[in-house]
Amino acid sequence: MPKRVEWASSVKPMKIYTKEDLTKLKPFDYVINFHWQVDRSKTFTEQLLYEINSNLSMHEFFWNWLKEKQPKNFINISTIKIFSELNEHPVSTSTVPLPLTPYGISKIAAENYFRALFNKTSTQVVNLRLGSIAAFGEVPTQLLTQLFNSAFNNKKIIVNKGHISNILYIDEAIDLIINSALIGVQGNYLLVGDGYLNQDISKRFEELSHRKLNAEYQDFNPGVTDPGFLSDKDKLRSSWTRSYSLDSMIEMIIELNLKRNSTVDTNS
């Protein structure tokens, strides 16, 4: 269940904690696995062990049940964090991942785990390597949300100058994820938005919002060149897939946040 937005679906999530809970489930054709837990307070090795345990090992009973039921497609939400500065540019679907973080290492471990788990079944495993997702109600560390809070709430932020963000808006990402189940074929897909320097995104946010950011510009990763990505969006696009430019993403974030703030003010 979403933690930051009101649940609007007519169907509530079904919670599966043990093997016994699986009796509530009927076999289904498509599985989309979003689940992932992290704990940044732990050491490098502790983070790695925590993520492998929390996201793979603890749910072994469920993965084995899926292996037995053999759905048509298993969509595993992965990340571009499986690539790093060790990878040569540009990064494409065929690029061998070289992760440098516990998150990236455990995510590529999950890709390999699910590929091996369903190897001798009829289930197609599709790994979606997603870039950053912008959404209303998203975590405060997401770039566009930070920019909104800086421009409209005067929050002091630090922008990672000299580095690139590849952002997809949530609506487009959802459509591509749905299509990965419907028309995707076994293998990997790299789904990222166009890459823009963080300072250029910030400048455009100021222009469209007619506000001044309370921002400091700092290079968090000096000497590191961000990889360029060759997106597979068009492979999963259909006639109904929504698409957003940088300007339209910024405008949506501003509009929805202002609407929420207006509702909160009215209620209070």
Measured CA angle at 38 (ends 12, 182), to 5 deg: 50
The dihedrals phi and psi of 197, each to the nearest 5 degrees, come to -60, 140
Nearest Cα neighbor of 226 from 86, 79, 105 is 86
Cα–Cα distance for residue pair 167/165, rounded to 1 Å? 6
Tell me the pLDDT of the chain (268 aa) as tens digits: 445 566 677 777 788 888 999 988 888 899 999 888 999 999 999 999 999 999 999 999 999 999 999 999 999 999 999 999 899 889 999 999 999 999 999 999 999 999 999 999 999 999 999 998 988 877 777 899 999 999 999 999 999 999 999 999 999 999 999 999 999 898 999 999 999 999 999 999 999 999 999 999 999 989 888 889 999 999 999 999 999 999 999 999 999 888 887 765 555 5
Q: Could you give the 3-state DSSP secondary structure of residue 219?
A: coil
Nearest Cα neighbor of 56 from 129, 126, 119, 117 is 117
Cα–Cα distance for residue pair 128/231, rounded to 1 Å? 11
Cα–Cα distance for residue pair 62/21, rounded to 1 Å? 10
